[in-house]
Amino acid sequence: MRKIVLLNLLVILTACTACYAQSSIFVRNNTWLDFSVTVIQNGTHVVPLGKWTQKAAFSRLWETDKEIFVTNRDTSTVPAGDTVYYEVTLWYNLSQVTLKFRLAGNPNGTQLAYAAKGPGFSDPWVSDGNFHQNSFTLAGRQMTIKYKPINDDTGQSRDLLFVIHENQPVQIDSVDFANPNVLNLMGYNIQMLPLGISGLPQAALRGDLMPGIISPWLDVMFFAEAFDPTPRTDHLIPAMQAAGFPYNSGILNDYFPFNGGVIIFSRWPIEATDDYDFLLCGPNAGDCFANKGIKYARINKLGKKYHIFGTHMDAGSDAQDLLAKNLQMAEMRDFIDVQNIPPNEAVLYGGDFNVSPTSGYNQYANMLDSLHPFLPYATGFFSSTMDRDTCHIIDHIWGSRKHLIPLRGTNQITSLRSIDDAMWDLSEYSDHRACYGRFTYPDISFEGGDTVLCPGENITYSVSSSIQVDYQWEKDGNAISGATSSTYSLTNAQPSDGGNYVSHVQYEVITGDSNDFLTPYFFPNGPDTVQADLALSFGQLIVDYNLCMGIGFAEELETEMRIWPNPARESLIVEWNETWGEGQAELWGLQGNSLAKWVLIPGKNNLKLKGIPPGIYLLKLNRGSQYACRRVLIE
């Protein structure tokens, strides 16, 4: 009886060994490429179908750990003394990467070895449990293949994971970096949660490694959920600096012990920043702990100003969350307005809006109504920034229609992944995908400001544009008949010519791609035609005889008087001739009001301007019955 039991147990164990004597190849596709898959078998023994299987015909872009191939490994599959080779090849057009798999038969089953080959490399066979990798170029993209076993070979069931990794997931042309009219930027919810709140592990390591995969030609990157101060200050910020981002805005709403989690990094100087703290948050506990709001940074790229607003809106969906989110949309609109940004400068806002085109409760429509954004083309593979639900895109980078309209804008959703040994299993830098935006703007500039003329003088206002635009000049809100060129001139100006002058610069941009599968979600009425209308203000023109009375010293004296600096800030220096005796200086506003008076003595006179707001003024100087009048700009 005992022998029968032992025999039955042996049969069961033998059957189980046969069941588990299988190995698979898994592929993690960290690229923008779809690969087709072929499997070729060769060697001293032909393994019949049924004992090995090609599990997938394709490795799709950004698919994770997909089983491509599986084979049995018992002695009936590969007899002792025989060797079987499998070549699992990933094809992109005529380019290929081959995952090599070798089984050597022995009396107890098979011995597994593996390797890889591709453009410019062919790895030797190995059977260890270590990492192996090579770099190569495929389809013009810099790639790395890295691989190792998932487990040991107990029960002859070792599986292998091969990762095809695109070294820079966002490709940017270096020409963009030298062009002040193109801005490349990326928004990313990095999930660095504070106070031990559950989330992705390895926040410090993610902060160290993530900046290394950013394109060197990316201009601006901003993060949401950079809450945790230690990973942010000791890891993320130094790593971003090492990656070529020397400027940052500081963290949003940094009130102890919490903050708003938004921080903006730039390769270009940040000239100004501001914060806004949202008034309401919903009952979502995580949101109410954070000081969510809006972070603003004015960036100067090669002389062109870009105004960046990063945010992270309420994440909940309860009634109070929806109320808070609707308010936050309006708060963002108003916060942008109070910055008084000139209409010919670019405004971009983005981040984690927690609103997608498929959101319920009319949230997306509410956001469009409140922010009235310029929507860029939606490009790229992912239909979501969180999962694979169609168009569940909650992270956006949009433009303002109230300011300079881009000639073209795109948003591309991409994964940011790591193949570092320590992040092999985690792989993703966040639970979100990143939103990459590229915006191309026209170069539209103008010269003007509050101006004072004497009757009979001339003035020309001008606008320059790098694209074909339409013009319409206005005075005091009324269109000037026939004034439709890039310049407007007044000759022999008279007091009746005084007023506020504005040039409306108009052009048209079509956004939205009817061939893109995301377009019906973002543009339910089809591609959008955006009418740009920039109201460029030249300020107040005053033509006043009284302000110009007696202008001009005798010519020989005029050349001896000097006034500097102009523009001025804290003071003006008036150099008064030693032979002239005492004189007077008086500062007049454009409305004909006297603002300050000084006595002038021979030599250099320092006229203090404390309390005088920036603007254009007239400085009247007199020596006895002789007068002179100089226009000065105070900054």
CATH number for the domain whose boundaries are 21-166? 2.60.270.50
Going from the C-alpha of 203 to that of each of 260, 278, 467, the distances in angstroms are: 17, 26, 46
Q: What is the pLDDT of residues 490-544, one digit of tens each?
A: 999 998 999 999 999 999 999 988 788 888 889 988 899 999 999 999 988 888 7
Q: Are 346 and 439 in contact (CB under 8 A)?
A: yes
Fold of 552-634: Immunoglobulin-like (2.60.40)
| pLDDT for residue 20 | 62
Residues of the chain with CATH 2.60.40.3080: 552-634
Paired tokens of 465 = 């544009």
Q: What is the pLDDT of residues 386-416, one digit of tens each?
A: 776 778 899 999 999 999 999 999 999 999 9
Provide the phi-psi class of 44: left if phi over 0, else alpha when psi is between -120 and 50, else beta.
Answer: alpha
- pTM, two decimals, is 0.85
3-state class (DSSP) for residue 386? coil
How far is it, in rounded angstroms, from Cα 110 to Cα 82? 9
- The whole-number average pLDDT for the span 564-584 is 87
How far is it, in rounded angstroms, from Cα 169 to Cα 154? 37
Going from the C-alpha of 485 to that of each of 128, 219, 288, 503, the distances in angstroms are: 75, 35, 54, 10
In this structure, CATH architecture of domain 174-440: 4-Layer Sandwich (3.60)
Q: What is the pLDDT of residues 422-447, one digit of tens each?
A: 999 999 999 999 999 999 999 999 87
Residues of the chain with CATH 2.60.270.50: 21-166
More confident residue, 5 or 313: 313
Paired tokens of 467 = 């694209």
Antiparallel, parallel or unpaired: β 182-192 and 434-440:
antiparallel
Instruction: Read off the amino acid at residue 450.
Output: D
| pLDDT for residue 288 | 82
How far is it, in rounded angstroms, from Cα 614 to Cα 567? 10
Q: Which CATH number fits domain 444-543: 1.10.3720.10, 3.40.1360.10, 2.60.40.10, 3.90.870.30?
A: 2.60.40.10
Going from the C-alpha of 447 to that of each of 304, 444, 504, the distances in angstroms are: 15, 11, 14
Q: What is the pLDDT of residues 309-352, one digit of tens each?
A: 999 999 988 889 999 999 999 999 999 999 999 999 999 999 99
Instruction: With cut-offs at 50, 70 and 90, classify the pLDDT of residue 558.
Output: low
| pLDDT for residue 31 | 95
DSSP secondary-structure letter at 151?
S
Residues of the chain with CATH 2.60.40.10: 444-543
Side-chain-facing half-sphere of 590: CA atoms under 13 Å: 23
Q: What is the mean pLDDT of the chain?
A: 90
